[in-house]
Every structure is written in C-alpha cells, then in structure tokens.
C-alpha cells in the first residue's frame, strides 16, 4: 500500500499531530512526511504550531473538514483520548463557522510504519461530536502527593546526546522499582542550562543535579536515589 501521495488531490485538510516530546525532537522527519502527503504538522505539547493554532489556521482558510492522525514515538505521551479532547475543546471554543473534525481511531507508534499505514489511518476515523470530555477534572485540581519530582532535560543538546533513552530508562526503572504516582512526578523540561553536562536530570526538592545521565546512570539513579534515598555520587553535579 503506497498510501496518499502528492499526485492525489486531497479531499480535505489533514494534520499529522505529534503527541510526545520525542515527536517535537523529530520535527524535521515528521514535517517532511506530512508535506509529502499534503498534510500539515502540529503538536500536542512543547512544539510549534500547537494543534489549536493549526486548526485555527485551516478553519480561517475556509476548510470544511479537517482530519487528524496522531503519532506518538516517545515516552510520557498522553493517551489517544487527548487528541480528541484537545481538538474538541478547540471546536467548542471556535467562534463562527466550525469545520467538521475527523480523528483517526488509533495512533501511529512507529515512524517507519507510518508511510505504509498512511491511507488506512486517514480512512479509519471518527468525527468529533462536541460531547467529548473537557480540559478540567476534579482529579486534576490539587498538586499531586508525589515525594519527588524528576526533571529530565529535553533541550536540544540533551536530546542530541540521548535524553530520550535517559527518560525511557528512568520511567521503566521506576516502574520496576514499584515507584508510583505518590512517589514520583517525572517531567520533561526545556533546557536546564548546564549543557556541557548533557543529558541533565535533576531531582526536587532534594536539589540534586546529575550530568551525563545515560540509560545505565538513569537506572542507578532510580535504584540508589529514588528508591533508597541515597544520591548517586558518580554523576552528581556540584551546587
């Protein structure tokens, strides 16, 4: 299956939506893929344009139907339901004429498979109804009860030096150690500034900073610091 190509005139506007921070890191690849199939690119978090901004742009151009396909290539991505939730929030808030929004029924999880699945994913969609959940919930009113927050730098230098693998190792290590939401809040961040130490991770409120955190170091941080309470001295940065 070759999918949709530029020689095929599109019947509607299409947006490829990056769901995770990793998708922002791989922007150039996703943008090239989207453009080769007459689609635009938007992001759910930490990327430009945002999904809301791209929907507004296309609606202002007079598009009557907009189809969304989400791609999720990295850790800590929101679930598929958030693609519908964010799009529905935009649709309800949109003043004036609102286009029909179709959303693919599943996410693409592999960039390598996406070209072959392209036509199938664009075809398997469900329309927004306007009754989708909103952006608030009683469960999200209060700061969570986590003991520590782990901040993983995903700035350009840290990303280039492997912070995606750092994040995966931290998340999987925490799961294997039985650390849950009451123990940790793991968060991607922009640049944390000691870029020569990339990849950088810091743990709060302990005010412990780590540098050159590859996957093995991340696993050791989970075991020694996050599970046992003893900072890992071999990668600790001076404060």
What are the residues whose beta carbons fall under 8 Å from the beta carbon of 130, sequence distance 6 or more?
A: 88, 91, 92
Domain residue ranges of the chain, discontinuous segments joined by +: 13-127, 148-229
Query: What does the pLDDT average to over 155-177?
Result: 94
What whole-number distance in Å separates Cα of residue 4 and Cα of residue 142? 45
Task: Write the Ramachandran bin of 73: left for phi over 0, alpha for psi from -120 to 50, otherwise beta.
Answer: alpha
Predicted confidence at residue 235, as pLDDT, reads 98
Predicted confidence at residue 2, as pLDDT, reads 33
**How many beta carbons lie within 10 A of that of residue 96, not counting itself?**
6
What whole-number distance in Å separates Cα of residue 68 and Cα of residue 127? 10
Query: What does the pLDDT average to over 3-24?
Result: 72
Average the pLDDT over each of 10-14, 99-103, 134-138, 228-232 and give the range with the smallest value.
Answer: 10-14
Query: What does the pLDDT average to over 61-66?
Result: 96
Which of the four pLDDT bands, split at 50, 70 and 90, describes residue 11?
A: low
Query: What does the pLDDT average to over 123-140?
Result: 93
List, for residues 174-205, the tens digit of each pLDDT value: 999 999 999 999 999 999 999 999 999 999 99
For domain 148-229, give the CATH superfamily.
Answer: Glutaredoxin (3.40.30.10)
Please tell me the pTM assigned to this model: 0.87
Structural Rg of the chain based on CA atoms: 20
CATH class of 13-127: alpha beta
Does residue 8 surpass a pLDDT of 50?
no
User: What percentage of the chain carries pLDDT values higher than 70?
Assistant: 95
What is the layout of strands, in order, in the sheet containing 65-71?
40-43, 13-18, 65-71, 100-104, 125-127
**How many beta carbons lie within 10 A of that of residue 221, not counting itself?**
27
CB of 65 closer than 8 Å to CB of 78: no
Domains 13-127 and 148-229 equal at CATH topology level: no
């Amino acid at each position: 299956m070759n999918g949709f190509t530029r020689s095929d005139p599109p019947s509607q506007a299409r947006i490829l939506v990056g769901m995770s921070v990793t998708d922002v890191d791989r922007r150039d690849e996703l943008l090239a893929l989207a453009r080769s199939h007459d689609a635009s690119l938007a992001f759910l978090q930490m990327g430009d344009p945002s999904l809301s901004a791209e929907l507004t742009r296309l609606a202002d151009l007079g598009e009557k139907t907009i189809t969304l396909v989400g791609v999720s290539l990295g850790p800590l991505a929101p679930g598929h339901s958030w693609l519908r939730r964010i799009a529905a929030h935009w649709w309800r808030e949109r003043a004036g004429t609102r286009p029909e929004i179709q959303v693919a029924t599943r996410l693409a999880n592999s960039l390598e498979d996406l070209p072959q699945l392209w036509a199938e994913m664009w075809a398997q969609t469900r329309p927004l109804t306007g009754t989708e959940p909103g952006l608030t919930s009683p469960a999200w009113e209060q700061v969570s009860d986590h003991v520590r927050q782990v901040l993983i730098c995903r700035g350009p230098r840290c990303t280039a030096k492997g912070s995606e693998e750092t994040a995966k190792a931290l998340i999987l290590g925490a799961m294997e150690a039985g650390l849950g939401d009451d123990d940790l809040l793991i968060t991607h961040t922009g640049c944390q500034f000691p870029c020569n130490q990339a990849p950088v991770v810091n743990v709060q409120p302990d005010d412990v900073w780590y540098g050159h955190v590859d996957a093995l170091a991340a696993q050791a941080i989970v075991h020694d610091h996050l599970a046992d309470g003893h900072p890992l001295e071999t990668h600790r940065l001076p404060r």
